[in-house]
Amino acid sequence: MVQFGEQKLRLDIGLPITLGEPVHSDSVGWLQYGAEFLTWTRLRSEGNFKFPVETIDYWFGLYASFQILPIGIESRLRVAHISSHLVDGLADASGGLSPKPFVYSREFVELLFGYTAGWFRPYGGATVIWATQPDNPNPFVPQAGIDVRIPLNTRWTFRGGYDVKLIGIDGAYGAANAAQAGVFYAMMDGRGILISLYGYSGRSMHGMFYTSRDEYFAAGFQLVL
């Protein structure tokens, strides 16, 4: 994602791995479980196709997705760890990093519930952080949003979404808003490419800057493999 008006880019990489065959029940629903590995990275553009990496966050954990019949409520439970690091793209003339790095680590559980109604899927839930360093983030993070998928033809689909989290530090909460809209081109076996616009406003998602505020619009693409 290339941010407008700033010499910044965002590069996210993610891989979900299903650890077993989905379990189905005609009376209860279905259950699927696995592991996830994610990184989100902030880069700086310096021309000549050079993009020094400033900070990167690592996320890994286990998940379970399930649907409850007959009401059709879908749920996802995650138990995960996240850490954040400064990278050499922020090195100063002496070779040190600015700002100074510190230990950023969290273990948490996230539970979301959603319901698909035609083209729309509203959802809500919360994250509970049970171990964190530094220790000033609030342990409870409410979250809500909506996903939209509108088929345009056999290959193209409009995809959009809005997500808001209430993130607290030292007891003071603030909203982190993320919105995305674009078109997805399907290739085979669910694979394809999403070309979209993206907007973010709120506390930084990068742990090394968790007390800072980010506001930007961006454009980019995502490969779904």
CA dist., res. 6 & res. 4, Å (int): 6
The token pair that represents 37 in the structure block? 């590995």
pLDDT for the residue 49: 85
CA dist., res. 225 & res. 175, Å (int): 31
Residue pLDDT tens, the chain, 225 long: 999 988 899 999 999 999 987 888 776 788 899 999 999 999 998 888 889 999 999 999 999 999 887 778 999 999 999 999 999 999 887 888 988 999 999 999 999 999 999 999 999 999 999 999 999 999 999 999 999 999 999 999 999 999 999 999 999 999 999 999 999 999 988 899 999 999 999 999 999 999 999 999 999 999 998
Residue 88 sits at φ, ψ, to 5 deg, of -65, -10
CA dist., res. 223 & res. 205, Å (int): 21
Give 102's DSSP letter.
-
Amino acid at 49: F
User: Is the pTM for the entire model greater than 0.85?
Assistant: yes
Burial classification of residue 88, based on how many CB atoms lie within 10 Å of its CB (0-12 exposed, 13-18 middle, 19 or more buried): exposed
Q: How far is CA 149 from CA 31, 58, 117, 121, in A?
A: 23, 29, 11, 9
CA dist., res. 102 & res. 91, Å (int): 15
- Which residues lie below 8 Å from residue 172, measured CB to CB, with a gap of 6+? none
Amino acid at 212: S
pLDDT for the residue 157: 97
In order of their start, the domains of the chain are 2-224 (2.40.230.10)
Residue 207 sits at φ, ψ, to 5 deg, of -60, -35
pLDDT for the residue 98: 85
